[in-house]
Structure 1
Amino acid sequence: MDSNTFSNILQAIFLIPFFYSINQYIFKRLKHTHSFFDTGLMNKLFFYHLFFGGFYYIYAVFNRSDSHRYFSAPQKEGKAWLDYLGTETTIIDFFSYPLINGFGFSYEMMMMLFTWIGFLGFVYAYLFFKENIPLKVKVFKKVDLLTLILFLPNMHFWTASLGKGAPIFFGLMVFAYAICKPQTRITGLVIGSLVVFAIRPHVFLILAGGAVIGFMSGNNGVSWQHRMVFCLSVVSGLFMVQDQILAVVNLQNSENLIGDFVEFTAARSASLDNAGSGVNMAGYSLPEKIFTFWFRPLFFDSPGILGLFVSVENLIYLLLFLKLFKRNFFKFLKSAPVNVKMSLVIFLSTSFAMTFVMSNLGIIIRQKSMIMYFLFFVVYYFLASEKDNIPNLQLKVANSNARLPEAA
């Protein structure tokens, strides 16, 4: 290790007290609006996430990582800041440009910053779960489900580096938290929507669709007039940005969307299949593709040592998913609130879309991390409803929220 790298690492470490101080301010405000907020748990989660930030940094030293590209791209000669304003990869470059070129952030400092952004995603995931499900649920006899979900290693690994993983997870969780009370959390709803749209426009399409279906079918006590206004607003917004969404798969000028999409996914899947950890998903049935996206690698096809650790986590995913296989699940789903139906639609529709594109286990491991929490929310709410019926759960949530001022 040369002296320059050592100096950069020290500078990144010196950012930790700064981010920790910001965390305490955020936690204090959240504690004021949410009596259940556990500052001690979040501080533990912060240092746990930092560990994976350090682990990913070491991983990136010895392996290919997109984080190096995200650091070097904004430094290209002849490129101005506004040249990077766009969606997907370029929006990360746009965000990084002033920090790298103006404030002199090193690669290590950028990694630390994005690790912190990823951590904030977990804070909002905690709020999303805890606010809507006030009951503690144990799985595997004595393991607290929420704690298990928050500390799953793979979720932290892929949200602790410079790239799209950390901010997209942050945007999704802010959106999930804000959509529960859109009237009073409009700022969070806008921020979450913009972040998701800027990084992955097609995921925003699915997110918006899930919100519409959830609001139209959910048991939320919202009048039909308000539901229609919300849905029309979402549809109008999607219409305005349709070109950016279709451009993700090069369909902005297509005259045959379905045919061209099938052609694109076939080509994309074939290109990914050429990678070292590719799987021949082209010959799989739809159930096999879905299973691969959700639960593989699973020991027998683990790509390396890291894959073995991922396999353990995938086994946990599978065991949690199997808890939905009960007769009363569909009865539960019929009377479930908006956020449950929204989460299920987002999870299933994203999974369905991804299975036609993904054929590389390494990419599958990384991509699915952004949506697994929506499945976990459905599982958590279902298990909680078995302990207490849905009306009682909603009443407890309402009573808890009524005692404190509303969060913005």
Structure 2
Amino acid sequence: MFPWIIFIYHTFFSLLYWRYSLSHSADAARYFSAVNKVTPFKIGTGFIEWLVNRLYAIFSGSYLDYFFLFTLPGFIGLCLLYRIIIDTIPFELPRRVQLAAILFVMLPGMNFWTSAIGKDSTIFLGIMLFIWGMVMPFRRVPALMAGMLVVFLIRPHMAAIMGLSLISALLWSKRVSWALRIIGLSAITLLIVVMLPTITNYIGISSTNPSDVVDYIESRQGQNMEGGSSVNISQYPLYLQVFTYLYRPLFIDANSALALVVSLENLLWLYGSLLLLTAAFRNVVKNHYNSLFIYFNIFYVMFGTIVLATTTPNLGIAIRQKTMLLPSLGLLILMTYAVRLREKMSIQSNNTSI
């Protein structure tokens, strides 16, 4: 029954987003306006406009109809996320972990931003396909390729981060044979090299020289500063940029009812992230049967957060875009919580038997 509950719940957020977009500025309206334009195939925003235009040529529909249509990728992604939770916690889920998993999948931010016409719902499906493929990476190569392709078509720099994370995971994981490591490393490295010209062109870097990259980051820190949700991060040290990106607004920044809801959710993420500083997390990294999966998610969160945190001064944009990273972060938190709970239950059982 849970997929049906997710579907109804996610559709509610799609209606909420649709209603919000009627009276506020929203990218969804701009994407839907592509139905009346000639839209060539392009990477990034142009891909979503091209997709909407092609879909409308096949079957027309209203603005609300296309909200419902773009709800489906987000819904499928959430179902994959819950399936991954079940498959990667290698023992029967205690009731408290089940409730935590349900809360994770049904977080308002995870559902709201993936329920509208635009990049976020579609790229969320691509990322979840890739992470689902990482559960059994050598058996689910089509899922990995499909997920990477979807992410590349929408935000190619995120595809590069996924590829770099996979390379790092292959190098760190000790449970993957050298033959498979060499094959995987060769394939992913070749893929990144092929994608690199498109990525640099998309994000506006003239070359991959360190000086050009630094100039790009500094220029990004000064962009999107309009509006009340902007924060000047150019003077922040890296750890504050990361904290700002992942956990703000946090009540003292909240200037609206929506910001208060986001602050409450960020508080949950902050509490969950503190679990990653415990011995239980080290046990997950050391003892999990699928070390490649664990290391991929660790590197993906780490690389993705550093790149996005140093280039996103607008909290409104950060709130929306970090849905690309929260599934991996949440999976690591849930695994740690499950291991910690199991250890406590084991200690209590031993004390009782004594």
Give me the TM-score of the superposition, normalised by structure 1.
0.79
Cα distance between partner residues in 2 of 1:270 and 1:332: 39
**Post-superposition offset of 1:186:** 2.2
Residues 354 and 303 of structure 1, relative CA distance in 2, 3 Å threshold: farther
Task: Return structure 1 stretches of 4+ with deviation > 6 angstroms.
Answer: none
**Post-superposition offset of 1:184:** 2.3
> What aligned pairs does 1:288-307 form with structure 2 within 5 A after superposition?
288-307=240-259
Asked if 1:309 is matched to 2:264, the reply is no
**Post-superposition offset of 1:328:** 5.2
> What aligned pairs does 1:228-243 form with structure 2 within 5 A after superposition?
228-243=182-197
Asked if 1:87 is matched to 2:43, the reply is yes
Partner of 2:236: 284
**Post-superposition offset of 1:57:** 0.6
> SS where residue 271 of structure 1 aligns?
coil
Cα distance between partner residues in 1 of 2:270 and 2:95: 16
**Post-superposition offset of 1:327:** 3.9
| Amino acid in structure 1 at the alignment position of 2:224 | L
| Amino acid in structure 2 at the alignment position of 1:360 | N
How many residues were matched structurally? 340
Cα distance between partner residues in 2 of 1:215 and 1:335: 17
Partner of 2:276: 324
Q: Deviations over 1:225-255 (max 9, x none)?
A: 011101110001111111111122212x42x
Q: Tell me the C-alpha RMSD between the 2 structures.
A: 1.9
| Amino acid in structure 2 at the alignment position of 1:152 | L
Partner of 1:368: 322
| Amino acid in structure 1 at the alignment position of 2:125 | F
**Post-superposition offset of 1:180:** 2.0
Asked if 1:206 is matched to 2:167, the reply is no
Cα distance between partner residues in 1 of 2:337 and 2:138: 28
Which one of the candidate residues 112, 115, 124 is aligned to 1:160?
115
Partner of 1:16: none
Residues 184 and 330 of structure 1, relative CA distance in 2, 3 Å threshold: closer
Cα distance between partner residues in 2 of 1:325 and 1:359: 27
Partner of 1:119: 75
**Post-superposition offset of 1:143:** 7.4
Residues 159 and 328 of structure 1, relative CA distance in 2, 3 Å threshold: closer
Which one of the candidate residues 222, 225, 250 is aligned to 1:270?
222
> What aligned pairs does 1:343-354 form with structure 2 within 5 A after superposition?
343-354=297-308
> What aligned pairs does 1:218-233 form with structure 2 within 5 A after superposition?
218-220=173-175, 222-233=176-187
Partner of 2:93: 136
| Amino acid in structure 1 at the alignment position of 2:249 | P
Give the conservation status (yes or no) of the 8 Å contact 2:84–2:132: yes
Give the conservation status (yes or no) of the 8 Å contact 1:323–1:379: yes
Instruction: State, as a whole percentage, how many aligned pairs show the same letter.
Output: 29
**Post-superposition offset of 1:342:** 0.6
Segments of 5+ residues of structure 2 without an aligned counterpart are 344-354
